[in-house]
Amino acid sequence: MTRKHWIDNLRWVTVLLVLLYHVVYFYNNKGVFGGVGGFGNGPQYQDALMYILYPWFMPLLFLLAGMGSRYALERKSAKEWFKARTRKLLVPSTIGLFVFHWMTGYFNTHVAGTDVMVAVPQPIKYLMWAISGIGPLWFIQDLWLYSLILLLIRKIKFKTDKPINIHIPTLVWLLPLGVLFWLGEQTLVFNPRPESLDGLYNLYKPLFYIIPFLMGYYVFSKDKVHEALAKSWMPLMAAAVISGAVLLITTFGENNAVPQYLATPLNNIYGWLMCLAMMGWFKAKFDMTNAFAQYMTRSSFGLYIVHYLVVASLGYMMKHYTQLPPVAIYAILTVAVFTLSPLLYELLRHIPIVRWCVFGENKENINKS
């Protein structure tokens, strides 16, 4: 099967948007959990980036992951594929916590501003740092779980394990699929209980993200769908931009990560339209590759894995230990994330045991790149 470069390009571009998002998110003053806080109580217009990106960029990554799973399972046996998925997804998000991500957890506990760690024995601190270091790795933990569920579905429904083929105009049934987005958001815990796992559930959103993953596998893996999206990418993008502008104007200042916000029809309309528009745009205009795109295709997973240490460490220290103006802090952290993350990735992936623990890469992987 000919490689679909537009999918590779869309994936790594979306990962880069995740890196940029985390820079802004880290200093947001909208109440979104996990950051170190904003700069004063006034409006931070740079936070608009969160409203623009959050409704669609993670669902899109799950869509692409579902599509990639379809193509991989056409070349490999289910056993081979799941073994590779386990190494690539589960190893970095479990063993990798104790090798690398405990450092992110160290800064996360400082960001939380808690003194509970002061009297804790060092081995327990290390364990807590490792767990706190999961951060963005929730994404690959979800992916591993969905990979397992997909194999179970394929085993139960093996005879129907083919992309859905509906004989009506493609966009006529693609657009209403966005209702599944809205239904998925309704599965969140709208009033999370303190001292419970409700907040963790709302972070992982397992019953929401499995929807785009399975749609990627069963619906968006079809060439017919790709062609329809490519032909309609401009009106789709126009509709997405309009709905996104209305969403931003009418809700700016709200916490855009709470279930009540995420479950609104407008948030889901915008998120779904952007997923469709981005896929159509990249299929129409970016189905090509070059040396840089090939490097990014190979390394974007690693950049996603390591980038949050740069955000958490440098972001925290600049906020608490310097008097730099906000514009300088944002600029420095943005440059650092896009330069230090690749350097850190390249350093770690050339250390034999570490590259397996942190990236799930073995010797064969590195020799191929």
Predicted pLDDT at 171: 76
Those residues whose C-beta lies under 8 Å from the C-beta of residue 339, and which sit 6 or more positions away, are none
- 338 falls in which pLDDT band (50, 70, 90)? very high
pTM value is 0.94
Tell me the range of 112-116, 355-359, 362-366 where mean pLDDT is highest. 355-359
What's residue 34's pLDDT?
Answer: 84
Type of residue numbered 58: M
151-180 confidence digits (pLDDT tens): 999 988 655 566 666 555 677 778 899 999
What tens digit of pLDDT does each residue of 211-252 get? 999 999 999 999 999 999 999 999 999 999 999 999 999 999
pLDDT tens for each residue of 271-303:
999 999 999 999 999 999 999 999 999 999 999
Contact assessment for residue 99 and residue 354, using Cβ atoms and an 8 Å cutoff: yes
Q: Domain ranges in the chain?
A: 5-93+134-368
Q: How confident is the model at residue 368 (pLDDT cuts 50, 70, 90)?
A: low
Across 65-93, average pLDDT: 97
Asked if 143 contacts 305 with a C-beta cutoff of 8 angstroms, the reply is no
3-class secondary structure, 164: coil
Alpha carbons 62 and 293: distance in angstroms, whole number: 20
Give the model's pLDDT for residue 99: 97
- Token reading at 73: 């399972």
CA distances from 76 to 69, 71, 216 (A): 10, 9, 18
pLDDT per residue as tens digits for the range 304-330: 999 999 999 999 999 999 999 999 999
pLDDT score of 75: 94
Pick 208 or 116 by higher pLDDT: 208
Q: How confident is the model at residue 101, as a pLDDT?
A: 97
pLDDT of 43 higher than 80: yes
What pLDDT is attached to residue 369? Answer: 47
Q: Rg of the chain over CA atoms, in angstroms?
A: 21
Percent of the chain clearing pLDDT 70 (strictly above): 92
